[in-house]
Amino acid sequence: MSKTLKKEKKKDIKGKEELLLVSLTEFYDIEKNKIELMDILEGKNKISLRIIDWFVTNYSKKYNIEYTLKKKITSPKKRKSKIIKGKTIKKETKSSNLNHINVFLGYKDQLSGYSKKNFDPFCRRNRIDFVFKDGDKITTTVGQLNFFRWAIYSNVINYIINNYKHIEDDMNQNTKKKKELETPKKSKSKSSKKHRKKRSPLSIAATKNMNVNKNPVTLNFD
């Protein structure tokens, strides 16, 4: 498996980024993941990078967005044999694995683990030409590829598509309020000291309150 990787400043990708690209390459070798990424970056999908960024940094925090993903895993250890007319038939059983997702906490966890450089929905900093196994190529960054791997795997993209209107309205309303509050005030005198105003969050974290979630739990006693 080969990939053509080039940086604008003609410097080789080293260390953590190089190691990260190995797993990213494997993830985007899956056609479904590649198509989902390309649709967003090429504008084929209605959701923009701005909407995605707003959702993970503000909307998910304000509304404490949580959901459960069900992933079926075929375990080779859990096979049952059934004998029918002298023939042994092996039957595989599928066990379900429930993965609880809290979008904002998950985003913050990824951000603290990778830093903004290697986890960013926007194409900032050192850009590379990333070539997929079928020859398609996009100009992106390691951070952008890594962010969308998490967003796709955690079903963030599908959630935004299904709730697009409400997320967009929330973003527009809050952006308008911010502009109104940040109307610059003219100083009365040149000698007056300028104090930098403390940055206030656009959305209040719902996680500051106590949240109770009820989830089914299966206990197996072997």
> What is the pTM assigned to this prediction?
0.73
* DSSP structure string for 195-216: -PPPPPPSS--GGGS-------
* CB distance 5 to 126 below 8 Å: no
Question: Per residue in 31-52, pLDDT tens?
Answer: 999 999 999 999 998 899 999 9
Please state the rounded mean pLDDT for residues 134-161: 97
Question: Per residue in 156-178, pLDDT tens?
Answer: 999 999 999 999 999 999 999 88
For CA atoms 124, 126, 130, 136, give the dihedral sign.
positive
Q: What percent of the chain has pLDDT over 70?
A: 64
Tokens of 21: 């690209």
Helices (H), the chain: 16-28, 31-41, 49-54, 60-63, 103-114, 142-153, 156-162, 164-181
- 21/94: higher pLDDT: 21
Whether the pLDDT of residue 90 is over 80: the answer is: no
CA distance 96 to 127: 39
